[in-house]
Amino acid sequence: MLQHIVVEDKSDARILVGMETHDDAGVFQWDETHALVQTIDFFTPVVDDPEIFGRIAAVNALSDIYAMGGVPMTALNLLAIPAGELEPEVVARMLEGGRRVLEDHHTALLGGHSIDDPEPKMGYQVTGMVHPEHIWRNSTAQAGDVLWLTKPVGTGVVIKALKDGVLSAEALQEATSMMVTSNAASADAVRSLGDPGSCTDVTGFGLLGHAWEMAGAAGVSVRVVGREVPILAGASSHARAGRFPAGSRRNLDYVRPHLDDRLGDPLLTAMLSDAVTSGGLLFTFPEARAREVTEAFRARGLALYRIGRIEEGPSRIILE
Ligand code: CO
Ligand code: CO
């Protein structure tokens, strides 16, 4: 999620997407028409219900495959549990939640590995397939593209409030239903239109962090209209109380040198850099296709928010 390990390898021509552009997953050419998409993600429990945590872990791991334009095929489970402290029943429910999501996405669970760790963690390594000419990169946005987002932000604040014991059941329900919502259907809607200008998903680096990766990699300015960005209803009061996790603060520190903040609303700026778990797709299409994009999502009953546009460089985020 937040920490990407960067070891550049330009020696192997089969690496179609490596680590240089901080993309969602690596892509490796298999033959003329097939490339492997590979990603791994795991984290500590974000909700108390083990079955729901398992579902979120799987939906989140699969998302990076969809964000590359790929289709998931296989998965391996990663599990860290405090030996003897966690009921076997709880572990079984975490695994069952993940298993059901993988099954729903026709992804075969081939195995996994567990270790003894005082802090529980779970996630998946996922392998998918993509056509080498139809890879959705985060680095190819062009001036004139419209910027779209499919899910609200605000889960970092909500999860912090949950851990602090001050989250309402209603706010938990809202955030949970967002985090267990797969990006598969949104990716299908995008695919029905052809390849997007660029695509990524919003996770631990926050909306502005991922927008900056788009801007930096493509040499463009990403203009984000702050008040058009959907935010979980249950997140606002906790944001006002300053309940941002440490990761969200680091995100904002990291992005700030590249941020032209014309919003004049520090709280909203902070919310837009809030660390997200299992967030939506963030993608672009040329302005001329905006109506088709809206229509494809509406026809499928899927949420879609127009939150900005891509402009000529320099690389930066303009927040208005
Ligand atoms: Co990730
Ligand atoms: Co991603």
- Residue 2 Cα to ligand 2 middle (Å): 10
Report CA(176)–ligand 1 centroid distance (Å).
19
What's residue 5's pLDDT? 53
Structural contact between residues 243 and 155, judged by C-beta atoms closer than 8 angstroms = no
Distance 65 CA to ligand 1 centre (A): 10
Ligand nearest to the CA of 24: 2
Ligand 2 geometric centre to CA of 60 (Å): 9
Using the Cα atoms of residue 87, residue 90, residue 96 and residue 99 in order, give the sign of their dihedral: negative
Give the closest ligand to the alpha carbon of residue 126: 1
pLDDT, position 1:
40
Q: How far apart are CA 180 and CA 167, in angstroms?
A: 18
Ligand nearest to the CA of 138: 2
Residue 84 alpha carbon to ligand 2 centre in Å: 34
In the prediction, which pLDDT does 150 show? 98
User: From the DSSP assignment, how many helices (H) and strands (E) are in the chain?
Assistant: 10, 13
* Residue 41 Cα to ligand 1 middle (Å): 5
Report CA(87)–ligand 2 centroid distance (Å): 32
CA distance 194 to 163: 41
**Gap from CA of 24 to ligand 2 centroid (Å):** 4
CA of 43 to the centre of ligand 2 (A): 14
Q: Calculate how far, in angstroms, residue 313's C-alpha sits from the geometric centre of ligand 1.
A: 26
- pLDDT of 8 reads 58
CA of 307 to the centre of ligand 2 (A): 18
Ligand 1: centre distance to CA 283 (Å) = 16
Say what the pLDDT of residue 21 is. 85
pTM of this prediction?
A: 0.95
Q: How far is the CA of 134 from the centre of ligand 2 (A)?
A: 17
Q: Which amino acid is at 315?
A: S
Q: 3-state DSSP call for residue 309? A: strand
pLDDT score of 268: 97
Residue 282 Cα to ligand 2 middle (Å): 10
276 alpha carbon – ligand 1 mean position (Å): 11
pLDDT mean by block of 10 residues, the chain; 320 residues:
53 90 94 98 95 98 98 98 91 97 98 95 98 97 98 97 96 97 98 98 96 96 98 95 94 97 96 97 98 98 98 97
CA distance 118 to 100: 26
Give the tokens for residue 35: 């490339």
Sign, Cα dihedral of 236, 238, 242, 247: negative
**Ligand 2 centroid from CA 75, angstroms:** 16
Query: Measured in angstroms, how far is the CA atom of residue 66 from the centroid of ligand 2?
Result: 9
In the chain, the DSSP E strands lie at 15-17, 26-31, 34-43, 71-81, 108-116, 121-130, 145-149, 198-201, 221-224, 259-261, 281-286, 305-311, 316-319
CA pair distance 259, 285, nearest whole angstrom: 23
Residue 6: the pLDDT is 55
Angle between helices 169-179 and 155-163 (to 10 degrees): 130
The secondary structure of 171-210 as a DSSP string is: HHHHHHHHHT--SHHHHHHHHTT---SEEEE--TTHHHHH
Residue 283 · residue 199 · CB < 8 Å: yes
The answer to whether the CB of 197 falls within 8 A of the CB of 142 is yes
What pLDDT, on the 0 to 100 scale, is given for residue 11?
Answer: 78
